[in-house]
């Protein structure tokens, strides 16, 4: 097959490339470029070339069929200061070994065990909510999912540290965005932004390392607990020594972050969508009320609430918390009829593909019913990939698929979350897809 020489794309500013447009409105810019140029778009930012892939066939090639030729990209490696060599950022044999070791913590029986913590923490939060008060539901969901993940991963009560951890992650995000906004300002430059970035990471390090050390001390002679941290602290690779503290730290920081940030966003965006679509909200309330009949939900109820499942799927379609995955080519290759050079960055955006009218009718509308009759099975592989695909698929997807619907059902059963008039919800694409100034709601007790 004859390959086209280079994919089309925007010309951009002679020095900055497409940086100004990306900074103005990244998501809209991406959608427009794909509409205009097609399934493979070349985008230059300063001196860095990226290729945006938007056809499920090409995404499948990178994430599944030819995945051996791709590693995590420079963008994720840039966040190594926080994640180190944890599952999200590592590659090769280290990643394989760690994934094998951690996978059992996400087996069905463990998820079942974690649901008690999920439900207890939610009930405790709901007991503090008051009829008529205004809240930022993104903030609340972040606190809640952080508390849950700390308990199930670390086996820790987390009340006193939650405030500090939330603050430090908030600071991390602000500085991360600033560094990326100015296009990868090197971390070693002594700028005030870099100073704050390092301070946020140091604070998070103190929290996570403190937990690891306390846990290690309390495990001496006390046997194991089911928390993921215990699995790691008691892990041995053959006859060798246990997992080095730095590796435990990297995995714990990765899971601590991924395990709360994404599910908090999935919940917050779902409340936003329900607030915009009151008739869908009523359908969901009716299902939850009928199935639960006033009692607290349990894992076994999820199978009896199909509309809840469809709402979750549709929310992940429109507001995927991880809105893009990125890889780097290890050698020259062919994708979508174009030759892609070794070292190129390949970016695949759920935000774009999930809104492609070739696969989703009325793509911008919130229609949970579209998922009826096994609609997912009729889609091409990788037309819908909120959890990624292939061997690097999200390790926490079973966790999230239990946690998000259970928390949604618990909250919806007790409260209606009405959008606060005048509060405009704005998407802020960062490492994840966040709402810029939160999602403000007014609580109405049911």
- Which residues contact ligand HEM by CB under 6 A? 87-88, 99, 254-255, 258-259, 262-263, 266, 321-322, 325, 386-388, 392, 394-396, 399-400, 404
Q: How far is the CB of 133 from ligand HEM (least distance, A)?
A: 27
Instruction: Give one DSSP letter per residue of 84-102, joined into a string.
Output: TTSTTT--HHHHHHHHHHH
Q: How far is the CB of 344 from ligand HEM (least distance, A)?
A: 16
Q: Per residue, what are the HEC states of 137-176?
A: HHHHHHHHHHHHHHHHHHCCCCHHHHHHHHHHHHHHHHHH
- Decide whether 99 or 196 has the Cβ nearer to ligand HEM: 99
- Decide whether 55 or 392 has the Cβ nearer to ligand HEM: 392
- Decide whether 201 or 389 has the Cβ nearer to ligand HEM: 389
For ligand HEM, the nearest residue by Cβ is: 396
- Decide whether 91 or 120 has the Cβ nearer to ligand HEM: 91
Q: How far is the CB of 4 from ligand HEM (least distance, A)?
A: 27
> What CA–CA distance (Å, rounded) separates 9 from 6?
9
Tell me how crowded residue 61 is: count the other CB atoms within 10 A of its CB. 21
The whole-angstrom distance between residue 124's C-alpha and the CA centroid of its chain comes to 25
Residues whose CB is less than 8 angstroms from the CB of residue 119 and which lie 6 or more positions away in sequence, other chains included? 296, 297, 298, 406, 410
Tell me how crowded residue 36 is: count the other CB atoms within 10 A of its CB. 11
- Decide whether 13 or 110 has the Cβ nearer to ligand HEM: 110
> What CA–CA distance (Å, rounded) separates 166 from 256?
11
- Decide whether 99 or 381 has the Cβ nearer to ligand HEM: 99
Distances (CA, A) of 253 to 267, 269, 320: 22, 24, 22
> What CA–CA distance (Å, rounded) separates 216 from 224?
10
Phi, psi of 345 (to 5 degrees): -95, 130
Phi, psi of 191 (to 5 degrees): -90, 155
What letter does residue 419 receive in the DSSP assignment?
E
Q: How far is the CB of 280 from ligand HEM (least distance, A)?
A: 19
- Decide whether 326 or 443 has the Cβ nearer to ligand HEM: 326
- Decide whether 67 or 283 has the Cβ nearer to ligand HEM: 67
> What CA–CA distance (Å, rounded) separates 93 from 204?
27
Q: How far is the CB of 386 from ligand HEM (least distance, A)?
A: 5
The whole-angstrom distance between residue 442's C-alpha and the CA centroid of its chain comes to 26
Entry field: residues in the chain: 446
Q: How far is the CB of 322 from ligand HEM (least distance, A)?
A: 4
> What CA–CA distance (Å, rounded) separates 193 from 172?
10
Q: How far is the CB of 312 from ligand HEM (least distance, A)?
A: 8
Phi, psi of 163 (to 5 degrees): -60, -50
Q: How far is the CB of 192 from ligand HEM (least distance, A)?
A: 31
- Decide whether 17 or 320 has the Cβ nearer to ligand HEM: 320
- Decide whether 232 or 255 has the Cβ nearer to ligand HEM: 255
Q: How far is the CB of 89 from ligand HEM (least distance, A)?
A: 8
Q: How far is the CB of 433 from ligand HEM (least distance, A)?
A: 9
CB 22 within 8 A of CB 56: no
- Decide whether 169 or 387 has the Cβ nearer to ligand HEM: 387
Burial category of 222 from C-beta neighbours within 10 Å (exposed 0-12, middle 13-18, buried 19 and up): exposed
Q: How far is the CB of 157 from ligand HEM (least distance, A)?
A: 18
């Amino acid at each position: 097959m004859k390959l086209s020489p280079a994919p089309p794309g925007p010309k951009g500013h002679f020095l900055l490339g497409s940086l100004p447009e990306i900074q103005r409105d990244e998501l809209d810019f991406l959608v427009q470029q794909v509409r205009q140029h097609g399934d493979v778009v070349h985008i230059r930012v300063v001196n860095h070339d990226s290729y945006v892939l938007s056809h499920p066939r090409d995404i499948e090639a990178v994430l599944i069929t030819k995945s051996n030729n791709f590693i995590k990209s420079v963008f994720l490696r840039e966040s190594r200061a926080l994640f180190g060599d944890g599952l999200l950022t590592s590659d090769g044999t280290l990643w394989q070994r760690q994934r094998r070791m951690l996978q059992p913590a996400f087996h069905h029986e463990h998820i079942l065990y974690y649901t008690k913590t999920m439900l207890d923490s939610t009930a405790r939060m709901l007991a503090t909510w008051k009829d008529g008060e205004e809240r930022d539901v993104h903030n609340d969901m972040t606190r809640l999912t952080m508390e849950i993940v700390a308990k199930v991963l670390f086996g820790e009560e987390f009340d006193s540290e939650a405030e500090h951890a939330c603050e430090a992650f908030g600071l991390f995000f602000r500085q991360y965005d600033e560094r990326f906004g100015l296009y990868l300002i090197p971390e070693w430059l002594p700028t005030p932004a870099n100073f704050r970035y390092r301070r946020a990471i140091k604070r998070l390090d103190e929290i996570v390392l403190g937990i690891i050390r306390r846990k290690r001390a309390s495990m001496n002679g006390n046997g194991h607990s089911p928390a993921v941290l215990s699995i790691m602290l008691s892990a041995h690779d053959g006859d060798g020594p246990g997992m080095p503290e730095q590796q435990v730290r990297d995995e714990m920081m990765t899971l601590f972050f991924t395990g709360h940030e994404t599910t908090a966003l999935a919940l917050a965006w779902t409340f936003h969508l329900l607030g915009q679509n009151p008739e869908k909200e009523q359908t969901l309330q009716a299902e939850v009320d009928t199935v639960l009949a006033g009692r607290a939900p349990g894992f076994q109820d999820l199978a009896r609430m199909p509309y809840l499942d469809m709402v979750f799927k549709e929310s992940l379609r429109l507001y995927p918390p991880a809105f893009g995955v990125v890889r780097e080519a290890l050698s020259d290759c062919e994708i979508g009829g174009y030759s892609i050079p070794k070292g190129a960055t390949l970016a695949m955006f759920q935000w774009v593909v999930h809104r492609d009218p070739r696969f989703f009718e009325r793509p911008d509308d919130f229609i949970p019913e579209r998922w009826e009759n096994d609609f997912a099975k009729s889609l091409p592989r990788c037309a819908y990939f909120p959890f990624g695909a292939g061997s690097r698929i999200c390790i926490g997807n079973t966790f999230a698929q239990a946690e998000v619907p259970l928390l949604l059902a618990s909250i919806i059963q007790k409260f209606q979350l009405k959008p606060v008039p005048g509060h405009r919800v704005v998407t802020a694409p960062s490492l994840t897809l966040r709402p810029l100034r939160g999602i403000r709601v007014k609580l109405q007790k049911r």
